[in-house]
Amino acid sequence: MSFPTRSDAPVIAIDAVTVRYRVPRDPALTLKEYAIRRLTRRVSFREIDALDSVSVTVGEGEALAVIGPNGAGKTTLLRLVARVLTPTSGRVRVRGRVAPILDLVGGFHPELTGRENVYLNGTLLGLTRREIDSRLTGIVAFAELDGFIDAPVRMYSSGMVARLGFAIASDVDPDVLVIDEALGVGDERFQVKCAERLDRFRERGVTLVLVSHDMHSVRRLCTRALWIDRGHTQALGATGDVVDAYLAAQRTRR
Amino acid sequence: MSAVASPPPVTYDYDSAERGSPARRELVELIRYRDLLRQLVSRNIKVRYKRSILGVAWSVLSPLLTMVVLSLVFAALFRTTVPDYPLYLFPGLLAWSFFAQTTSIMAVDLIGGADFWKRIYVPRTAFGIASALTGLVHLGLALVPVAGLLVFYHRMPGWSLLTLPLAAANLAMFTIGVGFVVSALARYFPDVIDLYQVVLTAWLYFTPVIYPASIIGERYRRLFAVNPVSLLVDGIRAPLYDGVMSRSIGVATVVALATLATGWWVFTRSADELPYKV
């Protein structure tokens, strides 16, 4: 008789989660208009369920793919795991440090140097200054930016910016890695490097949640897949089965 | 079967169903992310002067020039009532500008930070606090020429100068509190920021910054006494201009703490709804 250890319990537990956006029918509602309409009881909202009672658990070291058409709620699900969004109803629980690999290019300030941006982005990801001190060399080397790191980011090519973004985000020693379509970064050679780094994460037992339209990387990286469409779970199971069903449905829809 | 002990409870680092006080949780997170605050402040300062030749000197120069212009306009008017008018005007004006600019910028910086907090978890108060700390750095720099004015007018500041840090802290706490309330409103209604500028204009005329408190008629004294900004401005100005500590510094501290607590509570209570709105 062995006690269930920590690793038997899911790292991510999502129970019957619903995320409901209340969108005012008039998008640009100002305070003045709002006050007038409230008084005349004419404020009307449209309710949109980005997710509708979705449940899924991810165990330690597991890799879950979230697939579905645009607007299915994939990014919303990632935001729940990343603590950015709290669900309207249901419950989200996560163990350990979550690191998102998203396209963080928007987080760079063009007037600051690469080095200054590494510190800014690193602290945004929850690292301390000292932790970044010890990682800086590795980040610069991985992003292949030696000699450019003290130039302002506005002088970088978009490939350089993307490489730096991936290098920082993937260097935070996460327990849970959340990836949103960020695999198509840089040129082919750099993409291979990214893939290798992801494989190393997987070997170390890092839990992975991947949102992607690229079924090739989904099949290669993930053990299980969740297919959602307009906030509803369509299928949840082994990657091969779910991807096949999803692709079949896509074909018949066309 | 019944002999089997129940498994040890699994602890989660994040539980959306956790019903703690959001105000307390946010404080814990902000302390954990204190290095982020540093980076945000340093970014704010660097970015502001990155493309100017004089750089940070503008923090000293720009309020100084405003003071010179206002002094030229109003010195004649208040010559008899306010001796050494520029020395009266300058500290008060700096305190007021800090309040007005920081409260406006906090809301703007919060919305501007959406790029970050819509993608990754960051304590949302970090952006507002960073704006306020940036403002304090500028305030400190802008106060430097006051030393020149003191020499120029042959005034010797006394021990009351030691109350300046407390006065500055009061001003900052009050400002952050008001800034959070404005931010909380601004994310529901974007035009609050524009409306607030009108409020600020009225508020300035209502505060003895450009004119001395002595010209307020007896009838209106009560009305003006409830304006907390007057107390906070006086805290900065009294040690520098009158050479004594502000008599209302105790009241100002209480008001500042209460405003900070209120703003913090209002803001953190609704912070979870933020990604739904912006």
For tokens 């997170």, the residue is B29
In a domain? residue B223:
yes
Please count the structural domains in chain B.
Answer: 1
User: Which range, A202-206, B104-108, B231-235, has the best average confidence (pLDDT)?
Assistant: B231-235
Tell me whether A22 touches chain B (CB under 8 Å): yes
Look at B191 and A30 and tell me if their CB atoms are within 8 Å.
Answer: yes
Restricting to A residues 69-98, those with a Cβ less than 8 Å away from any Cβ of B are 79-80, 82-87, 90-98
In a domain? residue B78:
yes
Question: Given a cut of 90, is residue B96 above it in pLDDT?
Answer: yes
Nearest neighbour of A86 by CB, restricted to B11, B16, B120 = B16
How far B239 CA sits from the closest chain A CA (Å)? 38
CATH homologous superfamily of A6-97+214-253 equals P-loop containing nucleotide triphosphate hydrolases (3.40.50.300)
In a domain? residue B21:
no
| pLDDT for res B21 | 85
State which residue of chain A sits closest to B13, comparing Cα positions: A95
Q: Which domain holds residue B225?
A: 32-268
Partners of B74 in the β-ladder: none
Look at B46 and A112 and tell me if their CB atoms are within 8 Å.
Answer: yes
Query: Lowest-pLDDT range, B145-149, B169-173, B176-180?
Result: B145-149
Global ipTM: 0.80
In this predicted model, what pLDDT tens digit does every residue of B153-172 receive, in sequence order?
888 878 888 999 999 999 99
In a domain? residue B192:
yes
pLDDT < 50: residue spans in chain A? 1-5
Q: Which helix (H) or strand (E) holds A34?
A: helix A31-39
The answer to whether the Cα torsion of B32, B34, B39, B43 is positive or negative is positive
In a domain? residue B6:
no
Look at A79 and B4 and tell me if their CB atoms are within 8 Å.
Answer: no
Restricting to A residues 126-145, those with a Cβ less than 8 Å away from any Cβ of B are 126-129
Look at B119 and A129 and tell me if their CB atoms are within 8 Å.
Answer: no
Closest CA to A17 of A95, A92, A93, A98: A92
| pLDDT for res A44 | 67
Torsion angle of the four alpha carbons B125, B128, B129, B131, in this order, in degrees rounded to the nearest 10: 160
Q: What are phi and psi of A18, to 5 degrees?
A: -120, 135
Give B174's contacts (C-beta < 8 A, 6+ positions apart): B99, B228, B229, B232, B252, B255, B256, B259, B260
- Are the C-beta atoms of B84 and B212 separated by less than 8 Å? no
In a domain? residue B18:
no
Query: Lowest-pLDDT range, A77-81, A174-178, B133-137, B190-194?
Result: B190-194
Which DSSP state fits A73?
S
Distance of CA A232 to the CA centre of its chain: 19
| pLDDT for res A182 | 59
In a domain? residue B91:
yes
Here the tokens at position B112 are 């501007």
Look at B10 and A95 and tell me if their CB atoms are within 8 Å.
Answer: yes
- pLDDT confidence band for B180 (50 / 70 / 90): very high
In a domain? residue B12:
no
| pLDDT for res A4 | 44
| pLDDT for res A118 | 93
Partners of A54 in the β-ladder: A17
Look at B15 and A93 and tell me if their CB atoms are within 8 Å.
Answer: yes
Query: A207 by DSSP, 3-state: which?
Result: strand
Q: What are phi and psi of A113, to 5 degrees?
A: -75, 165
Q: Which helix (H) or strand (E) holds B207?
A: none
Query: Lowest-pLDDT range, A35-44, B136-145, B188-197?
Result: A35-44
